[in-house]
Amino acid sequence: MIISALVVALDQLTKLLVSANLAPTDQVAVLPGFLDLVLVRNYGAAFGLLAGQTGLIIGISIAGLIVIFLFLRYVPPANNLGTVSFALIVGGTLGNLIDRIRPPHYVTDFIRVHLHPSFSWPTFNVADAAITVGVFALVYYLYKSGVFQRDHEQEQKP
């Protein structure tokens, strides 16, 4: 789980640097018109859902980690893609979980991507990016391993 540890370390380091160098009203254009650094305190989950429900979000995160570890114990990934996808998800979940457990119980988001002049993707952080990449990699891994095909074939039998 070196990858998970690297994700947690990079996530916590970048959050620390952003928090130390940006005020909530600051906006630094890294790639003007496309990528900015901003400081957002997210008291909810993805996209600000469940704002103020810190205990529930912590419980869901811990339950998800337990499910992943049980799955990995009984059905270990068959290749590196499966291993890396789970490691990214675990690392990202732990990165945000640390923020939620540590007072003042919010996740620091700081990456804002502009998809259109009038629309920006909700602000996110390294942990969020790791979870997202991990989930897409996991879906691809499951697809390549034939899980979806076997399920489809089961549904087609009379």
Q: Can you tell me the mean pLDDT for 16-44? A: 95
Domain range summary for the chain, segments of one domain joined by +:
2-156
pLDDT for 64-119, tens place per residue? 999 999 999 998 998 999 999 999 999 999 999 999 999 999 999 999 999 888 89
Work out the percent of the chain whose per-residue pLDDT is above 70.
Answer: 94
Catalytic (active site) residue 151: no
Q: Which of 11, 99, 109, 151 is catalytic?
A: 109
* Per-residue model confidence (pLDDT) at position 158: 59
pLDDT surpassing 90 at residue 130: yes
The greatest distance separating any two alpha carbons of the chain, rounded to the nearest whole angstrom, comes to 63
Q: Distance between CA 19 and CA 35 in Å, rounded?
A: 18
Give pLDDT tens digits for 3-18. 999 999 999 999 999 9
Considering only residues 157 and 142, tell me which one the structure prediction assigns the higher pLDDT. Answer: 142
CA distances from 2 to 39, 84, 148 (A): 28, 10, 29
Query: What's the rounded mean pLDDT across residues 121-140?
Result: 96
What's the pTM?
A: 0.90
Choose the catalytic residue: 11, 36, 99, 128: 128
Q: Six-digit token pair at 127?
A: 């942990």
Residue 109 bears catalytic tag:
yes
pLDDT cut 90: percent of the chain above it? 77
Alpha-carbon distance 57 to 61, whole Å?
A: 6
